[in-house]
Amino acid sequence: MDLVELPRLLAGQYVLRAFQQGDADLVRSAASDPYIAAVTSLPAAPTARSAAAFIDRQIGRLHEGSGYSFAIATAAGDRACGQIGLWPDPLRPGIATVGYWLVPEERGKGIASAALIAITRWATATCDIDVLELFIEPTNLPSIAVAERSGYRFQQRAPHSRLVGGNPADMDVYVFAAGAADAQ
Ligand SMILES: CC(C)(COP(=O)(O)OP(=O)(O)OC[C@H]1O[C@@H](n2cnc3c(N)ncnc32)[C@H](O)[C@@H]1OP(=O)(O)O)[C@@H](O)C(=O)NCCC(=O)NCCS
């Protein structure tokens, strides 16, 4: 799939930017929440080598054509505190999924919402994406709040549609449709 270069996107007092090897502390902090490793390729117990490999994989997503993996970092100090990814669906042109996580100590400050709004605006304005989808476990109330606050609306329950810790789990699909709503 042809992808554009990964930009640096402003999200309030945060930026979305490419991963860099200096982000190893982010990987270590994120591993303190086992849920992140259960739903992503983050190592559950990172070593220096597996943290570096995780970062390499994020940098490689663009070159392999699978999508855009951004680190969420403070605009002032460039300290990474989370990840957000945009994954265009090769089988459904114009449609992409988004996923995100924050390290536990940086939650509850509106960072995920700011990042989701920024990536949604960029995707619809620049990447020929008209529809963005989030797959959220029905019990994940913080993520549902992030979705709704960012202009996404519940579409349907998708049974056994994602793996959580290796097991199929039901997901609620939240959708942002360009034109139907604007990112807040
Ligand atoms: C989901 C996640 C990214 C949210 O990050 P965040 O930066 O704390 O999100 P925000 O501060 O932008 O918003 C959090 C919202 O959840 C709400 N919230 C937090 N805990 C809640 C709870 N137990 N019940 C209901 N709402 C809750 C907050 O009030 C806030 O909503 P509001 O701004 O409308 O008041 C973060 O919790 C996380 O990384 N979780 C683990 C990984 C994950 O679940 N990723 C998403 C997979 S779909």
What is the block-wise mean pLDDT of the chain (184 residues), using blocks of 10 residues?
Answer: 90 97 97 98 97 98 96 97 97 97 97 98 95 98 98 98 97 93 57
pTM, two decimals, is 0.96
Hey, whose CA ends up nearest to atom 45 of ligand 1? 101
Cβ 89 vs Cβ 116: under 8 Å: no
Question: What does DSSP say about strands 95-102 and 131-136: parallel, antiparallel, or unpaired?
Answer: parallel
CB of 101 sitting under 6 A from ligand 1: yes
Ligand 1, pocket-test mutation among 107, 152, 170, 184, most atoms within 8 A of CB: 107
Residue with tokens 């100590």: 105
Distance CA 112, CA 133 (A): 15
In a domain, 105, yes or no: yes
CB of 113 sitting under 6 A from ligand 1: yes
In a domain, 131, yes or no: yes
For 6, 11, 62, 143, the CA distances from 17, given in Å and listed in that order, are: 7, 11, 12, 21
Tell me which amino acid residue 138 is. P
For CA atoms 65, 10, 150, 37, the dihedral sign is positive
Q: Is 9 helix (H, G, I), strand (E, B) or coil?
A: strand
In a domain, 69, yes or no: yes
In a domain, 40, yes or no: yes
In a domain, 2, yes or no: no
pLDDT at 4: 86
Q: Which tokens belong to 2? A: 């042809």
pLDDT at 183: 57
pLDDT at 180: 75
CATH number of residue 79's parent domain: 3.40.630.30
CB of 171 sitting under 6 A from ligand 1: no
In a domain, 182, yes or no: no
pLDDT at 184: 58
In a domain, 31, yes or no: yes
Cβ 174 vs Cβ 140: under 8 Å: no
Q: For the chain, what is the domain count?
A: 1
Sheet holding 131-136, edge to edge: 9-11, 14-18, 68-74, 80-88, 95-102, 131-136, 167-177, 153-164
CB of 29 sitting under 6 A from ligand 1: no
pLDDT at 1: 72
Residue 165 structural domain: 9-177
In a domain, 184, yes or no: no
